[in-house]
Amino acid sequence: MEAASDTASEGSEGGEHAPAERDWPAGEGEASWWPFVAAAGAGVLYLGFGLLLLGGSFALVPPLAGPVVAAGGAGLALVGTFGWLYQAFVADFWTRTIDGEGASGLRFAMLLFLVTDVATFGAGFTYYFFIRAGAWPPASLPELLSSLVLVNTAILLASSLTLHVAHAALEDGDRRRFLAFLSVTFLLGVAFVAGQVYEYYEFVVKEGFTLSEGIFASAFFGLTGLHSLHVALGALLLGIVLARALAGQYAAGRDLSVTTVSMYWHFVDAVWVILVAVLYLGASVTV
């Protein structure tokens, strides 16, 4: 899924392991220690969540301990992930050889990830359809299908189109067009995330529609929140791809990151269309 996963480099002299071009730290016999840094950060992040849950039960746990530890763990995990991806895929981009079989494997890995994501969203939709089969509506519902939802939908659909145009321009060798439309795609992704944040603000703060409002609220915030996290991750990946493109990377035949991120972005766009049809529009339909 990584935006940086462009090629699998061949092993270098000295017995270093692919895909890293050099050891870090040097001479320690491992291709990279960055995965351990990322894993340690993830462990600290979970510890922070645990302290956050225990904060109200044990006097020995200060109220700020959980958020502080979780934030530190998240930062460490991000640093480790960035270092890992940069060392493995970004550094020495043009000097590495292209392994066609490795590239196909990475595309297939993205496809497998998306299949697991279908199962994840499928579980959420199954829960919604289960509660939808009962008495409806289960409680008073806010006005879900608003102009904001329609604008956000248009933004996300437009971003899929601009990303397709950007990728096609790269394959045609039109780098200026590629950078222009990739930049627009990134901005549209950020705009969608901002729109989702504002929608939550409208529901929670102004209308008092929160997760505790009933079974529909749990389905609504569960599905839309899961999707928002996916879009936020996609926007981050698009930002990484854009930064690399502005640095002079990518060309026709060396665009694996663009391909895999495009697969991911088109997937979250399709899920959003289903969400709007089933959750926003479907909630207002009574039988």
Domain definitions of the chain by residue range: 22-91, 98-284
Mean pLDDT in residue range 262-282: 92
Judge whether residue 49 has pLDDT over 90. Answer: no
Judge whether residue 213 has pLDDT over 90. Answer: no
- 19's CB contacts (< 8 A; 6+ apart) are 7, 8, 9, 31, 88, 89
Q: Which of 42, 40, 39, 21 is nearest to 31 (CA)?
A: 21
159-163, 188-192, 227-231: segment of lowest average pLDDT: 227-231
- Decide: pTM greater than 0.85: no
Q: How high is the pLDDT of residue 59?
A: 63
Q: How high is the pLDDT of residue 96?
A: 60
Judge whether residue 2 has pLDDT over 50. Answer: no
CA pair distance 218, 52, nearest whole angstrom: 21
Q: 106-118 pLDDT, tens per residue?
A: 778 888 889 999 9
Q: Which of 179, 193, 265, 267 is nearest to 229 (CA)?
A: 193
CA pair distance 65, 45, nearest whole angstrom: 12
User: In percent, how much of the chain has pLDDT > 90?
Assistant: 34
Q: How high is the pLDDT of residue 21?
A: 47
Q: How high is the pLDDT of residue 10?
A: 38
- 71's CB contacts (< 8 A; 6+ apart) are 48
CA pair distance 216, 139, nearest whole angstrom: 8
CA pair distance 255, 237, nearest whole angstrom: 14
CA pair distance 100, 7, nearest whole angstrom: 8
User: In percent, how much of the chain has pLDDT > 70?
Assistant: 78
Q: How high is the pLDDT of residue 197?
A: 92
Mean pLDDT of all residues in the chain? Answer: 80
Topology, domain 98-284: Four Helix Bundle (Hemerythrin (Met), subunit A) (1.20.120)
Q: How high is the pLDDT of residue 137?
A: 67
